[in-house]
C-alpha cells in the first residue's frame, strides 16, 4: 500500500483494501443513497492530494480523516441549501412532509453553523464515533491535551447555546 520511501501510496490497492471501511464511515453521517457519491469524492481527493500524504500516520487514518471532512462539508453545504430554500421558498413537491420541531432545528442549526470546522470535526469523532481523546489526537496529529481542551470548549459553547437567549461565541 505504501512504497519503499514510505510516502508514495499505491492508490489502486488503497481503494481495493479500504473502500468498504470508508463507505461505512460515510454512512454514519449521511443516508445510504448519498454515500456512494461521497465515497467517490473521498477517493477523488485522495488521488488529487496523494502527494500530501507524509506517512506520519497510517493510510487508513488518513482516509478516515478525509472521509470525515468530506461528510462534514456535505452536511454543512446541505444546511446552507436548506436555509436558502427556507428564505426563498421551495417548490411544494420538494418540501418535507413531516417537519422537525422548530426549536430543535433552530438550536442544531445555530450550534453546527457557529462552531467551526475544528470543533465540529472533534465533536463528530468523540460524540458520533465514540473515539477517545488519544484516538482523536492521533487522527488530527495533535496532543491529547489539545483535544481535551477543544472538547471542553465545545461543551461550554453548546451549553451556552442551550440557555435561552444564549449564543455561541
Contact of 129 with 28, CB cutoff 8 Å: yes
Contacts of residue 130, defined as CB under 8 A and 6 or more positions apart, other chains included, come to none
pTM passes above 0.75: no
| Cβ–Cβ under 8 Å, residues 61 and 139 | yes
Kindly report, residue by residue over 57-108, the tens digit of the pLDDT: 888 999 999 999 999 888 888 776 666 556 655 444 344 433 445 654 555 4
Which of 56 and 3 is assigned the larger pLDDT?
56
Instruction: Look at residues 66, 82, 67, 60 and name the one whose alpha carbon lies nearest to residue 30.
Output: 67
CATH, domain 1-96, list 3.90.1150.10, 3.90.180.10, 1.10.1740.10, 3.40.50.460: 1.10.1740.10
Domain boundaries defined on the chain: 1-96, 99-169
Is residue 2 helix, strand or coil?
A: strand
Cell (9 digits) for 126: 468523540
**Quick one: pLDDT at residue 38?**
94
Confidence category of residue 162, pLDDT binned at 50, 70, 90? low
What cell numbers appear for 73 in the block? 462539508
Determine the topology of domain 99-169 in CATH: Arc Repressor Mutant, subunit A (1.10.10)
Amino acid at each position: 500500500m505504501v512504497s519503499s520511501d514510505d510516502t508514495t501510496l499505491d492508490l489502486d490497492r488503497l481503494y481495493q483494501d479500504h473502500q468498504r471501511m470508508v463507505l461505512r464511515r460515510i454512512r454514519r453521517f449521511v443516508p445510504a443513497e448519498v454515500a456512494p457519491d461521497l465515497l467517490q469524492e473521498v477517493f477523488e481527493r485522495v488521488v488529487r492530494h496523494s502527494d500530501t500524504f507524509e506517512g506520519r500516520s497510517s493510510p487508513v487514518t488518513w482516509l478516515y480523516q478525509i472521509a470525515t471532512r468530506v461528510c462534514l462539508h456535505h452536511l454543512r453545504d446541505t444546511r446552507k441549501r436548506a436555509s436558502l430554500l427556507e428564505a426563498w421558498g421551495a417548490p411544494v413537491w420538494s418540501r418535507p412532509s413531516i417537519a422537525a420541531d422548530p426549536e430543535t432545528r433552530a438550536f442544531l442549526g445555530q450550534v453546527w453553523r457557529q462552531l467551526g470546522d475544528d470543533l465540529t470535526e472533534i465533536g463528530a469523532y468523540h460524540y458520533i464515533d465514540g473515539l477517545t481523546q488519544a484516538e482523536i489526537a492521533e487522527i488530527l496529529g495533535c496532543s491529547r491535551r489539545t483535544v481535551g481542551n477543544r472538547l471542553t470548549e465545545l461543551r461550554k459553547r453548546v451549553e451556552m447555546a442551550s440557555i435561552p437567549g444564549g449564543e455561541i461565541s
